[in-house]
Amino acid sequence: MDCKKLRNWFRKNAAELPWRLSDLDAPRDPYAVWISETMLQQTQVSTVRDYFTRWMKRFPDIETLAATTEEEVFKYWQGLGYYSRARNILKTAKIVAEGATQKFPQARKELEALPGIGAYTAGAILSLAFHQQEAILDGNLVRIFSRLYAIGILPVDSKEAADTYWDYAREVADSPKAYMHNEALMELGRTVCKVKNPECTSCPLRDTCRAHLENRTAEFPPSKKHIQKDWHGTVLIIESSDHKILAIHGGQKFFKNQFTLPHFESPRSATAGLPAQAESYINTDHVAVVENIGIFKHNITIHKIECDVLHIKLSSKAPVRNKLAKTAHEIQWIERSDATEFFANSFCLKALALLKP
């Protein structure tokens, strides 16, 4: 790989991003690197821009973040999905803030021991913030290496493939300019060496790219079928006579560790009347009205979701308790007017949007 050409290209083409310094050679704040790289996992740069800016205004440093609550973190994460990332961010912030130095470790092994920090994020922190000669490997780099060296190993996520790609990543990082090479490759993969319709004529590495030279770019990386699972369910919006909505924590299919609306898998067109599963959450003798208010669609990881939404109105006020007697799950009754602020996921918000005024 011609790293000099890569660096020259990056200096001319580096996009202005809120987490990127104008001086591309300057070490960065490890906290900002950590937050931006975590947000960028499974999320487009165009989406992350505004989220990162809002986050840094509210949580400018790790001490501020460590002092907040999970609910507050979810509020600023809402819409990014993969909420385990947000939960791990808060866990790691507390560990670092309560540590002896109150600073990020500068060794890969110690970083990877922190919740939510894997090999890629650890490498990004060490490389971009501390300018260590540490490798990184994400989907962009896998795609570039696969095309550059015509690597056709299947499956792409096998140990053999991972070892091969990491070897190339370490080769790129074996330089005092590792931080520049790593970031330049990420930028190249995002803007030029794209999954579809790569702009090979603009690529600084085209003269040595085997896939380009052999006119086989579309063959790399070798395709891997993504198995999509259809899931149909029912979401319950249970409203008390004093206009409070039931939220449940734990035991739910997609949101086991955060508050959500009760939901369960169900056959299509099987929601006429009160479903038996509702008995797990309420006393059915207190049900006044059951109404199917619509259907929404949603995607979570490999799950293609379609849900019927039932609005269950009770004749009784919200009980004063924080556990369900039948399941021991934690519950909370939320003022209906506060529900859209309380639930920190678009799954619940789509269901609530079907409520009639």
Q: Model's pTM, two decimal places? A: 0.68
- 58 falls in which pLDDT band (50, 70, 90)? very high
Annotation says 112 is catalytic: no
Q: What is the DSSP letter of 174?
A: S
The pLDDT value given to residue 329: 72
97 near 151, Cβ under 8 Å?
A: no
Which residues of the chain form CATH 1.10.340.30? 3-219
**Looking at 37, 134, 187, 239, which residue is catalytic?**
37
Cα–Cα distance measured from residue 75 to residue 68, given in angstroms and rounded to the nearest whole number: 11
**Per-residue pLDDT, 323:** 63
Task: Identify the DSSP state of 19.
Answer: T
Band (281; pLDDT cuts 50, 70, 90): confident
Of 213, 216, 191, the C-alpha closest to 202 is 191
How sure is the predictor about 113, in pLDDT bands with cuts at 50, 70 and 90? very high
CATH topology of domain 3-219: Endonuclease III; domain 1 (1.10.340)
Positions of CATH 3.90.79.10 in the chain: 229-352
Residue 275 banded pLDDT, cuts 50, 70, 90: confident
Residue 322 confidence (pLDDT): 65
Average pLDDT, the chain: 90
The H or E element containing residue 248 is strand 244-249
Backbone angles phi, psi at 109, to 5 degrees: -60, -45
Which CATH topology does 229-352 take? Nucleoside Triphosphate Pyrophosphohydrolase (3.90.79)
